[in-house]
Amino acid sequence: MKHLLRSTLGLLIAIGTSAALPATALAVDTPFPKADRVKGDLEVPSKPAVQTAQAAGFECRTTDGIHYTVALRGNGAASQAIIVWTSEELVGYPPQRRCREVSDRLNNVLRSNGNTLAGLYLTVGRVNGQSVVCTVGDVGYGCNTNNVLFTLSGENARDPNQVLLSLRDRVSGAGTPIEQISNNGQVYIDFEALVDRHF
């Protein structure tokens, strides 16, 4: 059985399996390692010195009419679908357009961070009165007009942290914890670890 979470921009996070797009098993929560630095009241765990192949880019692909965003490695290897775009709710923004635009935004984030996802986090916030998913350079930072990836609405807008937790839950793999929660309940997902677990 497949459980789906959808945003008005057509973000569809699938948990389970799909014939058209392979999905991974659910993640197993792992404890955070001992923190080596503190930001405000939030302990930031140290990252193990693990070498991972860097994401070289993001691309919108289509299989059986379904549009989805994948990460690419320098050797051409493509990840499993990170975001699947299916919603037809936004006039003028069909799934293919949203897939291309968000994939382009992800490529811009990658380039402006020195072609690495290291040190980047996904989080949620409000920009121009709307719930959004964005990238930030450290836990404790928030969304603004310059770092928005996509807008949420409907049920996702009412509980935007659930979108991030669903992204975390659809991938498997042990290693670096990918989630951090600040003392005010703000969720931060380690973007590099999230992408690595999709390969």
Is residue 132 within 8 A of residue 149, CB to CB? The reply is yes
**Average pLDDT, stretch 147-160?**
84
**Average pLDDT, stretch 180-197?**
87
| Domain-located, residue 174 | yes
Q: What is the pLDDT of residue 167?
A: 80
Q: For residue 171, give its domain range.
A: 3-30+49-196
| Domain-located, residue 142 | yes
- Find tokens 């409907």 and name the residue: 154
| Domain-located, residue 38 | no
The per-residue pLDDT for range 75-132, each reduced to its tens digit, is 989 999 998 888 776 667 788 998 999 999 999 999 999 999 999 999 999 999 989 9
Is residue 163 within 8 A of residue 124, CB to CB? The reply is yes
Looking at the structure of the chain, the number of domains it has is: 1
**Average pLDDT, stretch 67-78?**
94
Q: Please choose, from the candidates 127, 22, 33, 125, the residue with its C-alpha nearest in 3D space to the C-alpha of residue 80.
A: 22
> For the whole model, what pTM was predicted?
0.71
Strand boundaries in 137-184, DSSP class E: 148-152, 179-181
Instruction: Decide if pLDDT at 39 tops 60.
Output: no
Q: Which residue has the higher pLDDT, 127 or 27?
A: 127
| Residue 53 pLDDT class (50, 70, 90 cuts) | low
Is residue 16 within 8 A of residue 3, CB to CB? The reply is yes
Is residue 181 within 8 A of residue 39, CB to CB? The reply is no
Q: Which two tokens stand for residue 121?
A: 């986090």
| Domain-located, residue 137 | yes
| Domain-located, residue 41 | no
Q: What is the pLDDT of residue 166?
A: 83
Instruction: Decide if pLDDT at 52 tops 70.
Output: no
Least confident range of 7-21, 48-62, 80-94, 160-174: 7-21
Q: Please choose, from the candidates 69, 192, 184, 198, the residue with its C-alpha nearest in 3D space to the C-alpha of residue 121.
A: 192
**Average pLDDT, stretch 31-45?**
35
